[in-house]
Amino acid sequence: MANLKEVRIRIASVKSTQQITSAMKMVAASKLRKAQNAIIKLRPYASKLTEMLQNLSASIEGDSDSPFAQQREPRNILILTLASNRGLCGAFNANVIKATNNLIANTYGAANKAGTLRLVTFGRKVTEYYNKRSAVYASYDHIYDNLSFENVAPLAEELMKAFSEKEFDRIVIVYNQFKNAAVQRLISEQFLPIQPPETTAVKQANPLDYIFEPNKEDILNELIPKSLKIQLYKALLDSYASEQGARMTAMHQATDNADDLLKELRLSYNKARQTAITKEILEIVGGAEALKA
């Protein structure tokens, strides 16, 4: 059994760690509240914008020459991997890396072998991981320092330009979709080209009839870039909210584990102290008996 001094040192160390994890939990909870409000407010707008785009695409199917809707053979692939700049958030980063690796191996293995697959990373953790294993086409680790639509829009424009110039045939985003503080769902979402709308029996029975003003080309040219910018911004907001939720959950578990460990250490300390007291009493009694003799 450890002596009293060693147990006291361990108790002090665990208490210090518990204070740190508790403070990090509160900071993550504060950041999560802001990020959660932002993504909840954006989702209805993004969903309605996507629905509107799909309905417009369905109404003019076969009559659109948008460069962002061109379906080409996926030879040149770009994968956007969204993770975090910091750790201490459980398996958040590891899950994103695992999903990206599975996508590369199972879906785009041919492009990877041919050397036509590129990675764009968001977050130092994933950037460091792939820099050691393969070349990173570009990294935007700083995007989380000031995550806003104004900062994301130029990046979306660069991606749209690269696709329209046929530098890439397909662009995919891998990220964690925020559900709640404890649940994040990994998503592999096609960014470009725009996926054709799903045709259902209801839509076929009730075809959409739009009156375009001023004209359909101007409307689509305005709507498609805006929708793509919102799509990328929503993915980044989802990832950021998921990161804060994962960190808050991890720090909560760490704080609870520290509390359990403290209980065990205090029990060990009391046992060691009781053993030391009993030993001293026995020595005193033994000494007294020796003096009587």
Both 79 and 161 in one domain: the answer is yes
Both 246 and 261 in one domain: the answer is no
Tally of domains within the chain: 2
Predicted confidence at residue 224, as pLDDT, reads 84
Both 214 and 283 in one domain: the answer is no
Both 207 and 261 in one domain: the answer is no
**Which regions in the chain score pLDDT beneath 70?**
1-2, 54-65, 196-210, 293
Predicted confidence at residue 232, as pLDDT, reads 93
pLDDT in tens, 16-68: 999 999 999 999 999 999 999 999 999 898 888 877 776 666 555 555 567 77
Indicate whether 174 belongs to any domain.
Answer: yes
CA distances from 249 to 178, 185, 194, 256 (A): 13, 15, 35, 11
Predicted confidence at residue 245, as pLDDT, reads 92
- DSSP H helical segments within 135-215, as ranges? 149-164, 201-205
Amino acid at 186: L
Full residue range of the structural domain in which residue 13 is found: 4-20+257-292
Both 165 and 211 in one domain: the answer is yes
Q: Which two tokens stand for residue 263?
A: 């209980």
Indicate whether 25 belongs to any domain.
Answer: no
Both 164 and 230 in one domain: the answer is yes
Both 184 and 225 in one domain: the answer is yes
Burial of 257 (0-12, 13-18, 19+ CB in 10 A): middle
Indicate whether 26 belongs to any domain.
Answer: no
Predicted confidence at residue 216, as pLDDT, reads 72
Q: Which DSSP category does 90 fall into?
A: T
Nearest-angstrom CA–CA distance, 192 and 96: 20
Predicted confidence at residue 64, as pLDDT, reads 55
Both 243 and 267 in one domain: the answer is no
Of 197, 183, 191, 117, residue with least CA distance to 152: 191
Both 11 and 85 in one domain: the answer is no
